[in-house]
Structure 1
Amino acid sequence: MEFTGERYVPTEQGEIRHEHMHRYAWCVPLVADKDVLDIACGEGYGSAMLARRARTVKGVDVAQSTVAHARVAYGDIPGLEFQCGDAAQIPLDDNSVDVVVSFETIEHHDRHREMLSEIRRVLRPDGVLVISSPNRIVYTELAGHHNEFHVKELDFAEFDAVLKEQFGDINYFGQRLAVGSSIFTLQDDAPERTLDALTDTGSEVVERAASLADPVYFIAIAGELSGARKCLRPSVLFSEAEDLYTHHREVARWAVGLEAEVHRLRDLHGQVVADHKKAVTWAKESGKALDDLRTAHAKTVADHEKVSAWAQRLDVELLASRKRIDELTKAREETVAWASSLNRELNELREAHGRTVADHQKLGAWAQGLNAKLEEMHEIHAKTVADHEKASAWAQRLDA
């Protein structure tokens, strides 16, 4: 199951693991041979821890996918079952469980009265509620932290007030991580179940269990507490698999590396700033060049428009010239044809004149008698020759 921040999953390490695992392990003695409800059980790891000592455990969560995961992950544990349900409308019968465990649930909604009324309903008369809630003052306000999955967090007075509406006897504990040192045996014999408690007050070390101020979480035990007070006492949890101090040193080494990276980034930033100044200067120069180009472009566009208008006028004139040339070509062709026809007629006249001359020579003697007529013919002939010469000269000019 993927960790989103809304529900804890046991694959997560560090502070969040210590907080969640400690709460469930702490109340295991209270549920021995009891019928238990783990409301808002989430991934199911806590219900599984309780089921190893309880008679029965019902894990209830509002998300069907979470319930399905829990059934697969922990379904082989005897007496443990999971079902879907709402914390403000618990799907159990009245007076059906001895212990209700509700860790980190109440802040995820704002129906606090409905939830506690439902818990009171399903608890048997001598039943006990174990419930935790983040201390809004420390968890959120002092830390400057906002958990996006929390709907309504409570301070101590608000938590106490809503619990007292359903329960008359309440015992409170606080939970937070603490700085400490442990002394432990290195022998192979069985580890001790008890530890001597020493507390550093800041000015001296005294022989007593620590009572830390400003708890991050409140844990309330409500209901019939005569037996619960014997089972639930102040408790500490140490991890044999994880060392927060080692983690802190790793973080410190990482921070040193970050410092070197910061110096490198500062140098890089300085170079970027210098490059930026150069770029600004270049941009200003480029801007002036761009303005010059825009001016030249505008002039080019204006010149282009003038040339385009001139070209359009030339095109109109060219079309008119082509039309005039076509007309002149047609007229020339017609003149050439007319001249050709005149040339044919002239050739015919020449042939006729040749025949006339021959006839004149043959009829010389006879022609004398016809002198008057001949003179007339001479006049006609002279006129014809003159016309012919004019036509010939004109035809020659046309041909040229």
Structure 2
Amino acid sequence: MSHSLSFTGERFLPECSGEIWYEHWHRYALARQLCRDCSVLDVACGEGYGAAMVADVARKVVGVDISVEAIQHAKNQYGQLSNLEFIIASCESLPFPDASFDFAISFETIEHIEKQKEFISELARVLRPDGMLVLSSPNKRIYSDAHDYHNEFHVRELYRNELEELLHEPFPYIFWLGQKLLFHSAIWPENQSCSSAEYWVSEGRKITLASQLSVEPMYYIAVCSRNVSALPDRYDKLSLFSDDAEMVYQDYVRQTRRVIQLDQLLKHRDSFLLLRTQQMEEREKLIAERDALLDLRTKQLNECSDEINRLNTLLELRNEQVARHESLNDALNQQNDALNQQNDALNQQNDALNQQLVYRASLTWWLKSPLRFIVHAIKGNS
């Protein structure tokens, strides 16, 4: 973009294309017709292309801009023109004496300024009493309101009555022009000059011949002066602007093709979305079936868990019974051991009795028995 300058969305550059290119160049083409052989001030000249265009027909042109970068670029780009000068300055405080210029240009500047009244007064100050100002401003009703659009670089946009009120005090005589990029079908005599123009308008199915354009301007162009004789005697022509490459039309064709391509993509997208929707529905159905199976499985698991809990309860009861049985068995075993011990003692006693009975039954016992009786008797007598 213009060597060292880049497009920010605020400052127009001649490398831009499309509607903005037509709008800006057409305005300077108009200014060229009005400022021939004049000393011209181009306020907020930006990149400098417009001041250079005007310099082709003007006696002297001074471009001012607050941007150091823009002015340095303009000097490098167009400094070879002897009647063209670029100065760094604020449009709210122009560094020129009173009545310095015949003609002043201010295109798409006023909407960027907060102190608009002071700005217009400053333009009037540097113009000669019969000087002329040509100024453009976006029509807020169409530019912003109708499209619900906000330009972040604009400080204050104006409706037509607001712009007229602002200009009327310093410049009591104003010639109004409208500008807008329009779509028309053109029919013209081939290889001949056009002696007149006609404007046909279609309203529904009714076609009528109109005396003027019926559309509302996107931009107002005000040609202002303090001297009514300084204004153009007659400006009743329709001014058209184009380029040999038909830039806007080519852009329109590209965009139309792009829209067709997007329509095709949208159709493919719709088909894909339909397929995707069907897949999603099928997936949701499978998910619902899975959830039902999970619910059933969960119910079965809960039932199994309840059965396991019941079996665990029975097992604990069985373990308690086994423990009681084991305890009883231990007690019985202890009793049995005691009985065995008693039985052993009885067996021992029985063995002793058996031995005694055997002894008494023997000859020895009987032989000793009389002696025992005699001894017992003697002990008794004693």
- Normalized against structure 2, the TM-score is what? 0.67
Aligned-partner SS, 2:177: strand
The residue correspondences of 1:295-310 to structure 2 (distance < 5 A) are none
Q: 1:211 Cα shift?
A: 3.0
State percent identity of aligned pairs.
37
In structure 2, the partner of 1:229 is: 232
In structure 1, the partner of 2:182 is: 178
Of 221, 228, 241, the residue aligned with 1:238 is 241
In structure 2, the partner of 1:45 is: 49
Q: 1:11 to 1:241 in 2, by over 3 A?
A: same
Q: 1:42 Cα shift?
A: 1.2
Q: 1:157 Cα shift?
A: 0.8
Q: 1:218 to 1:238 in 2, by over 3 A?
A: closer
Structure 2 unaligned spans of 5+: 299-382
Q: 1:256 Cα shift?
A: 1.7
Asked whether the 8 Å contact 1:27–1:232 carries over to 2, the reply is no
Number of residue pairs aligned between Structure 1 and Structure 2: 281
RMSD: 2.7
Q: 1:235 to 1:69 in 2, by over 3 A?
A: farther
Of 89, 96, 113, the residue aligned with 1:92 is 96
Asked whether the 8 Å contact 1:40–1:61 carries over to 2, the reply is yes
1:106 & 1:118 partners in 2: Cα distance?
Answer: 12
1:227 & 1:156 partners in 2: Cα distance?
Answer: 23
For the pair 1:139 / 2:138, whether they are aligned, the reply is no
In structure 2, the partner of 1:197 is: 197
Q: Which amino acid aligns with 2:16?
A: E
1:232 & 1:69 partners in 2: Cα distance?
Answer: 35
1:214 & 1:174 partners in 2: Cα distance?
Answer: 8
Q: 1:87 to 1:281 in 2, by over 3 A?
A: farther
Q: 1:98 to 1:89 in 2, by over 3 A?
A: same
2:236 & 2:131 partners in 1: Cα distance?
Answer: 18
2:189 & 2:82 partners in 1: Cα distance?
Answer: 35
Structure 1 unaligned spans of 5+: 293-400
In structure 2, the partner of 1:81 is: 85
1:272 & 1:207 partners in 2: Cα distance?
Answer: 54
Q: 1:52 Cα shift?
A: 0.6
In structure 1, the partner of 2:35 is: 31
Q: Which moved more, 1:110-119 or 1:267-276?
A: 267-276
Q: 1:2 to 1:99 in 2, by over 3 A?
A: same
Q: 1:15 Cα shift?
A: 1.4
Query: Deviation per CA, 1:115-144, whole angstroms, max 9, x where unpaired?
Result: 011101111111111101000001111122
Aligned-partner SS, 1:218: strand
For the pair 1:111 / 2:141, whether they are aligned, the reply is no
In structure 2, the partner of 1:66 is: 70
1:262 & 1:201 partners in 2: Cα distance?
Answer: 35
The residue correspondences of 1:259-278 to structure 2 (distance < 5 A) are 259-273=263-277, 278=283
For the pair 1:150 / 2:154, whether they are aligned, the reply is yes
Of 201, 213, 216, the residue aligned with 2:215 is 213
Asked whether the 8 Å contact 2:175–2:231 carries over to 1, the reply is no
For the pair 1:13 / 2:56, whether they are aligned, the reply is no
- Normalized against structure 1, the TM-score is what? 0.64
Q: 1:82 Cα shift?
A: 0.9
Query: Deviation per CA, 1:87-108, whole angstroms, max 9, x where unpaired?
Result: 1111222111111100000001
